[in-house]
């Protein structure tokens, strides 16, 4: 019973960051139809910025977090304007190849700048965990969870309560009609990519101090993000949020009660099952075609 409670608590904490990763990717995937291979690198970028400002320059941990996210947003905007804007209307394969190229360049740049050796980031939180009866969790993870939930709520509000969010949703439903109605598509695209990238950088900045920071840390994160997006249905924020928690739950329970060696396989097994029965994902919305 105690073990089950601990697994459930782990699921909750892990799910929050998975959801954050998934939302960023699903926005870009759903609205822009861009298969964003740089998502994992933005995640790594957030973590490295955290390392640079907090550990190298010695800035305050919380201020660094904000800086890392802002830089992530800026880098996302830069990628959109320089790489994706010239390819607007190009074949999806072309865009995909460019994004794969960008992914390789970014990962190798990280390697060049920071070397392949893992970096660790100190946090102002106590080492002693928060003990709640039979279960315990580190303070930094509680903080990560709270911030992740706030960011998820923030993204939801932005999409559903602001004019920009309305423009994004309109573009998602039908790009051409939205453009005809006076929506500035270029701006919506840049904003979407920047927002998605910012969320990835936020996830990296939050998890960097929990784990260690390496140039290849983005690979697994991107793989999980894609899994969550497929699970939740393309372009669906609610789907990505729930998908993140479901993936965390399946991994945690799979590792805890079935086999820890197949932990990462559990998530993908789930995706195969979901795709067999609901090929558009668990929570796919109707999309206007043509």
Partner 1 sequence: MSHWIKAVALTLSAVALAAVPQIASAQETIKIGVNQPLTGAVAASGNYVTNGARIAADELNANGGILGQQVELIIEDNKSNPTEAVAAAEKLIVRDEVPVMMGAWSSTYTLAVMPKLMEYEIPMVVETSSSGKITTQGNPWVFRISPTSEMEAKAFADKIDDFGIKKADFLAVNNDWGLGASDEFRTMLKENGVEVGMVETMSADAQDLSAQLSKLKASDADTLFVTTAVEQLTLVLKQAKSLGLPQTIITTGGSQSPDQLIDQAGAAADGSYHLLFFAPWFPEAAPNPEVAVQFVDKWKERGYNFAGLTEGFRGYDGIMTIAAAIEKAGEAEPEAIREALWDVKVEGVNGDISFIKQGPEGMESGQNVPAVYVVKIENGEIIQPSF
Residues that bind partner 1 (CB under 8 A): 2-3, 6-7, 10, 13-14, 111, 115-118, 120, 122, 127, 129, 131, 136-138, 141, 207, 211-212, 214-217, 219-220, 251-252, 254-256, 260-261, 263-264
Alpha-carbon distance of 142 to 72, in angstroms, equals 23
CB of 209 to partner 1, least distance (A): 10
- The DSSP code for 181 is T
Nearer to partner 1, 6 or 173 (CB): 6
Nearer to partner 1, 78 or 142 (CB): 142
Cα 62 to the center of its chain, rounded Å: 20
Nearer to partner 1, 189 or 226 (CB): 226
C-alpha distances in Å from residue 219, one per residue of 60, 104, 254, 256, 265: 28, 11, 22, 24, 15
Nearer to partner 1, 138 or 280 (CB): 138
CB of 4 to partner 1, least distance (A): 9
- Written as six digits, the tokens of 185 are 């598509």
Nearer to partner 1, 39 or 141 (CB): 141
CB of 129 to partner 1, least distance (A): 4
Phi, psi of 131 (to 5 degrees): -105, 125
Query: ∠ at Cα 94 (226, 22), nearest 5°?
Result: 15
Spatial neighbors of 157 by CB under 8 A, at least 6 apart, are 165
CB of 21 to partner 1, least distance (A): 13
Q: Residue written as tokens 């990280």?
A: 110
CB of 156 to partner 1, least distance (A): 25
């Amino acid at each position: 019973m105690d073990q089950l409670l601990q697994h459930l608590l782990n699921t909750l904490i892990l799910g929050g960051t998975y959801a954050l990763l998934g939302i960023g990717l699903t926005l870009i995937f759903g609205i822009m139809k861009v298969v964003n291979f740089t998502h994992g690198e933005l995640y790594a970028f957030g973590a490295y910025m955290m390392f640079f400002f907090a550990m190298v320059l010695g800035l305050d941990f919380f201020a660094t977090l904000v800086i890392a996210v802002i830089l992530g947003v800026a880098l996302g905007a830069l990628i959109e304007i320089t790489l994706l804007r010239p390819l607007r209307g190009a074949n999806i394969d072309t865009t995909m190849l460019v994004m794969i190229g960008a992914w390789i360049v970014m990962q190798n740049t990280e390697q060049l700048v920071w070397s392949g050796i893992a970096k660790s980031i100190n946090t102002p939180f106590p080492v002693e965990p928060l003990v709640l009866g039979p279960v315990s969790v580190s303070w930094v993870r509680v903080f990560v969870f709270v911030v992740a939930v706030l960011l998820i709520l923030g993204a939801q509000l932005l999409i559903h309560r602001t004019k920009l969010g309305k423009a994004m949703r309109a573009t998602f439903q039908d790009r051409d009609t939205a453009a005809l109605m006076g929506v500035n598509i270029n701006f919506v695209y840049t904003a979407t990519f920047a927002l998605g990238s910012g969320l990835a950088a936020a996830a990296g900045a939050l998890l960097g101090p929990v784990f260690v920071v390496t140039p290849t840390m983005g690979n697994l994160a991107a793989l999980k993000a894609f899994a969550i997006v497929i699970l939740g249905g393309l372009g669906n924020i609610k789907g990505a949020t729930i998908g993140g928690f479901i993936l965390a739950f399946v991994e945690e329970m799979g590792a805890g009660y079935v086999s820890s060696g197949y932990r990462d396989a559990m998530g993908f097994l789930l995706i195969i099952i979901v795709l067999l029965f609901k090929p558009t994902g668990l929570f796919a919305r109707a999309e206007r075609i043509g």
